[in-house]
Amino acid sequence: MLNELFSIGPFTIYGYGLMIAIGVLAAYVTGEYRAKKYGYDVNQIFYFVIFCVLGGFLGSKLLYFITDIKNILNNPELILNLADGWVVYGGIIGGILTAVIYSRKKKLDFLAYFDLIIPSVALAQGFGRVGCFLAGCCYGRETHSPIGIAFQHSDYAPNGVPLVPTQLISSGLNFLHFFVLIMAAKRKKADGQIGALYLILYSIGRFILEYYRGDLIRGSVGILSTSQFISIFTVIAGVLLFIWCSRRGKISPDGKAA
C-alpha cells in the first residue's frame, strides 16, 4: 500500500506504473511464447502488444472523459491529468478495436490472434490491479470483516478506514482467468471461443465486484454503475460471439489450439 517505492536521483518509481510495466512485459513474453508453441507469426506479437496498449490507453481515457464529463467541463485541466482518470472497460474496448484494425490491415485472422493474446491480457490486468492496490485507487466499501484493509498514505482511498480490498480480489480473478483461458484454449473447437470466454468471465466478475467498490465517482446509469451497465452488453457480446464461432467452426490454419 505504498505507491512511491523508491527514488533514483530525480526519478521516483511508483508502484502503479511499475505494475503496469510488469503486466505489459508479462503479456508480451507469454504471448510470444505461445505464438512460438502454436506456430503463429511471432513477429506480429510485438506489434499487437504495442498498438493494443496504445489503443487501450486511449480508449480508457476516452471512456473516463465520457463518464466524468460534468467535472471535466467544469475543470478542463483534468484532461491533462495522466496520473488519474482511467476506465478499464474503455481500455478493453479500445484494445480490441485496435487489434481488429491491425489484423485487417495486415490481413491476419483476428479471431485466431484474439484467442492467442487474450489470456495474456488477463495476466496483465492481474498485475495492473496490484498497482491499483499500491496506489490506493479503485478501492472498496468500508467493511468490518476480517478481510478489511486500511490505507494510511493514499491519495485516493480514505485513510484509516478498513475497506474491502477490491483491487486484490480483482487481481486474483484476473490471474484465475489467465489460467482458465490457457486451459480452455487447449480444448477449443473454433477460433474466437477463448476471446468470447474472456468477455463472459470478466463481465460477470466485474458486475458482481462493482457492488463492493467504494469509489462512486466512476459514474452510474440508473441503479447500476457505468461498469455494470457496460458488463451487461459485454457478457451478451461474449455469449453471442461464442455461439457464432461455434457454429462457424473455423480454427487456425495449422489446426492447433492456442
Interval 62-111: pLDDT, tens? 887 887 777 667 776 666 665 566 789 999 999 999 999 999 999 999 99
All cell numbers assigned to 55: 489503443
Are 98 and 54 a contacting pair, CB within 8 Å? yes
**Confidence grade of residue 1 (pLDDT, cut at 50, 70, 90):** low
> What's the pLDDT tens digit per position in 169-194?
999 999 999 999 999 999 999 999 99
Closest CA to 125 of 196, 23, 194, 208: 23
Q: Is 94 exposed, middle or buried (0-12, 13-18, 19+ CB in 10 A)?
A: buried
Tell whether the torsion through CA atoms of 66, 110, 113 and 111 is positive or negative.
positive
Q: What is the pLDDT of residue 80?
A: 60
pTM above 0.75, yes or no: yes
- Whether the pLDDT of residue 238 is over 80: the answer is yes
DSSP 158: P
CA 10, chain centre distance (Å): 31
Question: What are φ and ψ of residue 227, in 5° steps?
Answer: -70, -35
Give the separation between CA 61 and CA 106, rounded to whole angstroms.
Answer: 27
Can you tell me whether residue 137 is helix, strand or coil? coil
Closest CA to 246 of 177, 197, 205: 197
Give the separation between CA 8 and CA 15, rounded to whole angstroms.
Answer: 14
> What's the pLDDT tens digit per position in 102-156?
999 999 999 999 999 999 999 999 999 999 999 898 999 999 999 999 998 888 8
Q: What is the pLDDT of residue 15?
A: 87
- Whether the pLDDT of residue 207 is over 50: the answer is yes
Mean pLDDT of the chain: 89
